[in-house]
Amino acid sequence: MSDKLSPEEREKKKLPPEDESHFSEEQQKELLQKYDPESNTRDLSGIIKHVVFFGLLAFSLFQLYTAIFGQYTAYIQRSVHLGFALSLIFILFPLRRRKGARHKVAWYDYIFALLSIGVGAYWPIMYDDLVFRIGRVTELDLIVGILAVILTLEATRRAVGMPITVIGILFLTYGFFGPYFPGFMRHRGQDLESLIQLMFYTTDGILGTPIGVSATFIFTFLLFGSFLVKTGVGQYFNDLAVSLAGNLTGGPAKVAIFSSALQGTISGSSVANVVTSGSYTIPMMKKLGYKKEFAGGVEAAASTGGQLMPPIMGAAAFLMVEFIGGVTYWEIAKAAAIPALLYFTGVWIMTHFEAKRIGLKGLSPEEMPDRKEVLKKIYLLTPILAIIVFLLIGIPTMQAALYGILLTIFVSAFNKETRLGFKDIIHALVDGARTALAVAAATATAGIIVGVVVKTGLGLSLANGLVSASGGNVLLTLFFTMLAAIVLGMGSPTTANYVITSTIAAPAIITLLMVDEPAGAAVPIVVALSAHLFVFYFGIIADITPPVALAAFAASGISGGEPIRTGFNAAKLAIAAFIIPYMFVLSPELLMIDTTWTQLIWVLITAITGMIAIGAGLIGYWYRKLNWLERIITFVTGIALIYPEGFTDLIGAAVFIVLFVIQWMSRDKKTSKAQTA
């Protein structure tokens, strides 16, 4: 959409003005297919369309059955989950992104789908035999195992994208050719039989922890999100955001932040979040006066931040429970809460200063919805709040999601517009399964990566390498780990993103923080959580970090702005995400673990005031425009306040007060009367 004609060009060609207040569903679909591999599906018709529909429905019903009545053994539960996902992916996702390939299924994809069903059924059919001769692989086992690896990688390429597929192939190569790698990368290597046994006949490979979490917690929460969407809660997020923030300074930008934070509670994709809420908020921002690249940057930064927002966190929170061990889901959600709020606070502050700098106001009273009418539908948020309460009082995660689904159906009945009938429930089950396909493929490939790392000890080797390269310096190690997480996270969906970064990059931080502990000492929860959240943050921020920046590219498709500039604007607005992870590693009080209220309040005060100073320095406006020297001083003051040391906090606070007084005394009185936060 970057090739849209400008208003001047349209006027020269005597074309009517373009209606930018509406971004059609067809345009949204086109954008999703372009930038979000998970949405790049065929438009099927006829018998095969019904086959896929009932296949997706059967997938959801199988998952619900095991969630209610109990799971099968790990091998059967996970292999059936894998079989459903792979077979449906080959029917739904074309080999290449050609428009002609979207309306019919190629003959070879039917073969791939049948082979996928065979792979998924192999463990249930051969279970007793496979368990009896565990450790020994027959010729048939080897063939099925090789097929499982190939089909998993190809399905992942189609449904998720090339980055994670390439990483999976590289790790497989490393697992096989280990003896030929140089230096610290060398390991014993494995023959084909041993490698395939690891990949498909143990719970350390494709059928490992990642897909185990997908086949249990993640699927039920994706269903929960699908039922919420059917009630119209997505549009309600927009309406609620407008009613609460639309009339503030630069209102539409703050609507985007508020709406995207709420969308993040049910969305597992930054790009999908951008297209869903951005098609509504970006035209509003442009109409108000924000530049195209800034409007797109606001939406991209806010939508990407939605993946950091508890309770769902793009489904990564469920993986953290399994990967860290000894920690509950509630502890992870609680630890992630304050960093997420600080992130959105940072984006909010910077959009506010930008609005003041260019003299923007909020929406007029005529453009605002009736707040009372909007608040009448506040009951739609009950299931989300209930999920949090369920987890807080200790209800098991899957059970909490099931209760959430039932509550959503019940709550929807309060209003004729939101009421879910039998047909709506069936479609919610189908949509939930469709959403889960890419997650299942991504977690299966992530299992390949984890299996190689665990078997070869590569994670520890990379961790030691990063620590050695930094000379044991904490900040340098964190910096190198940040770069690794951003590169590894580029182009990967949230769940796969976290698995990759936590497996490869997180051990470096844990190794560094445990350097003074005796060998074999248990890793404290605060250390593990700090490391895993650190790499999770930077893996997610890859979505707005140029040159890849998929979320920013999607936002530019709506705004008509230049994609790379949009990416840089998004990264600037999301500066908090580049700072906060350092804060909670160096000052774990932010994670609300083993801390007092006094410590927590002090850290919050210094962090928020620091973000105000950093935002003013980057935008170049506070109560008036800042010159370059003032911008540098203000920015450095913000860094001093955010850095978790008492000495820097005191200096930063003193300079902040002086700067505030100077700004207030010399403020632009014309705009200060007209503008409010």
Q: What is the pLDDT of residue 225?
A: 87
Residue 656: Cβ within 10 Å count: 20
Helix (H, G, I), strand (E, B) or coil at 274: helix
Is residue 276 assigned to a domain? no
CA 108 to chain centre: 33
Q: Is pLDDT of 608 > 70? A: yes
Taking each helix axis from N to C terminus, what angle separates 329-357 and 525-541, rounded to the nearest 10 degrees? 40
Q: How confident is the model at residue 5 (pLDDT cuts 50, 70, 90)?
A: very low
Residue after which a domain boundary falls, among 164, 184, 218 = 218
Residue type, 69: F
Q: How confident is the model at residue 290 (pLDDT cuts 50, 70, 90)?
A: confident
Is residue 25 assigned to a domain? no
Closest CA to 590 of 541, 582, 257: 582
Structure tokens at 399: 């059970």
Q: Is pLDDT of 463 > 90? A: no
- Please check whether residue 106 is in contact with residue 94, taking contact to mean a CB–CB distance below 8 angstroms: yes
Structure tokens at 640: 């001093």
Alpha helices in 515-668 (DSSP H): 525-541, 550-559, 563-573, 575-586, 597-619, 628-642, 646-665
Residue type, 532: H
pLDDT, mean of residues 491-511: 83
How does pLDDT run across 220-233, given as a tens digit for each residue? 988 998 998 888 88
Is residue 343 assigned to a domain? no
pLDDT, mean of residues 292-315: 85
Q: What is the pLDDT of residue 2?
A: 39
Q: What is the pLDDT of residue 651?
A: 93
Residue 136: Cβ within 10 Å count: 11
Q: What is the pLDDT of residue 267?
A: 67
- Please check whether residue 539 is in contact with residue 500, taking contact to mean a CB–CB distance below 8 angstroms: yes
Q: How confident is the model at residue 375 (pLDDT cuts 50, 70, 90)?
A: confident
Cis preceding linkage at 179, omega within 30: no
Closest CA to 591 of 650, 644, 651: 644
Candidate from 61-65, 326-330, 515-519, 547-551 with smallest mean pLDDT = 515-519
Q: What is the pLDDT of residue 183?
A: 58
Closest CA to 202 of 125, 148, 140: 148
Q: In angstroms, how far is the first alpha carbon of the chain from the final one?
A: 33
Q: What is the pLDDT of residue 533?
A: 92
Q: What is the pLDDT of residue 244?
A: 86
Report the share of the chain in percent with pLDDT over 90.
31
Q: What is the pLDDT of residue 252?
A: 83
pLDDT, mean of residues 189-203: 87
Q: With residue 131 as reference, give the H or E element that holds it.
A: helix 107-132
pTM of this structure: 0.85
Cis preceding linkage at 547, omega within 30: yes
Q: Is pLDDT of 188 > 90? A: no
pLDDT, mean of residues 566-574: 91
Q: Is pLDDT of 55 > 70? A: yes
Q: Which residue has the tokens 């047909």?
A: 423
Q: What is the pLDDT of residue 630?
A: 93
pLDDT, mean of residues 270-295: 85
- Please check whether residue 25 is in contact with residue 579, taking contact to mean a CB–CB distance below 8 angstroms: no
pLDDT, mean of residues 141-155: 96
Candidate from 249-253, 301-305, 606-610 with smallest mean pLDDT = 249-253
Q: What is the pLDDT of residue 88?
A: 97
Using CA atoms, how far apart are residues 208 and 217, in angstroms rounded to an integer?
14
- Please check whether residue 141 is in contact with residue 130, taking contact to mean a CB–CB distance below 8 angstroms: yes
Radius of gyration for the chain, computed over Cα atoms and rounded to the nearest angstrom: 25
Q: By residue range, what is the domain housing residue 58?
A: 36-218
Is residue 605 assigned to a domain? yes
Using CA atoms, how far apart are residues 344 and 307, in angstroms rounded to an integer?
12
Is residue 242 assigned to a domain? no
Is residue 358 assigned to a domain? no
| Cross-strand pairs, 625 | 621
Q: How confident is the model at residue 98 (pLDDT cuts 50, 70, 90)?
A: low
The CA distances from residue 594 to 511, 588, 599, 627, in Å, are 21, 9, 10, 43
Q: What is the pLDDT of residue 187?
A: 61
Q: What is the pLDDT of residue 22?
A: 55
Q: Is pLDDT of 99 > 60? A: no
Going by the DSSP 8-state scheme, the letter that residue 184 receives in this structure is: G
Candidate from 176-190, 243-257, 285-299 with smallest mean pLDDT = 176-190
Q: What is the pLDDT of residue 13?
A: 41
Closest CA to 235 of 420, 243, 387: 243
- Please check whether residue 622 is in contact with residue 629, taking contact to mean a CB–CB distance below 8 angstroms: no
- Please check whether residue 527 is in contact with residue 468, taking contact to mean a CB–CB distance below 8 angstroms: no
Q: Is pLDDT of 654 > 50? A: yes
- Please check whether residue 5 is in contact with residue 13, taking contact to mean a CB–CB distance below 8 angstroms: yes
**Which one is predicted more confidently, 275 or 33?**
275
Q: How confident is the model at residue 151 (pLDDT cuts 50, 70, 90)?
A: very high
Q: Quick one: residue 190, left, alpha or beta (phi over 0 = left, psi -120 to 50 = alpha)?
A: beta
Q: Is pLDDT of 309 > 90? A: no
Using CA atoms, how far apart are residues 87 and 439, in angstroms rounded to an integer?
14
Using CA atoms, how far apart are residues 265 and 317, in angstroms rounded to an integer?
12
**Which one is predicted more confidently, 672 or 52?**
52
pLDDT, mean of residues 121-145: 91
Is residue 84 assigned to a domain? yes
Residue type, 511: T
- Please check whether residue 247 is in contact with residue 288, taking contact to mean a CB–CB distance below 8 angstroms: no
Residue type, 301: A
Q: How confident is the model at residue 570 (pLDDT cuts 50, 70, 90)?
A: very high
Candidate from 233-247, 402-416, 627-641 with smallest mean pLDDT = 233-247
Is residue 588 assigned to a domain? no
**Which one is predicted more confidently, 129 or 397?**
129
Residue after which a domain boundary falls, among 218, 237, 263 = 218
Q: What is the DSSP string of 81-95?
A: HHHHHHHHHHHHS-S
Mean pLDDT of the chain: 85
Q: What is the pLDDT of residue 16?
A: 38
Cis preceding linkage at 311, omega within 30: yes
126-134: long-range pairs with CB below 8 Å, 24+? 127/73, 127/75, 127/76, 130/75, 130/201, 134/201
Total residues found in the chain within this entry: 677
Q: How confident is the model at residue 181 (pLDDT cuts 50, 70, 90)?
A: low
Q: What is the pLDDT of residue 121?
A: 97
Please give the tally of structural domains in the chain: 2
Q: What is the DSSP string of 434-485?
A: HHHHHHHHHHHHHHHHHHHHHHHTHHHHHHHHHHHHTTT-HHHHHHHHHHHH
Residue after which a domain boundary falls, among 183, 218, 253 = 218
Q: How confident is the model at residue 4 (pLDDT cuts 50, 70, 90)?
A: very low
Q: How confident is the model at residue 129 (pLDDT cuts 50, 70, 90)?
A: very high
Q: What is the pLDDT of residue 263?
A: 76
Q: Is pLDDT of 159 > 60? A: yes
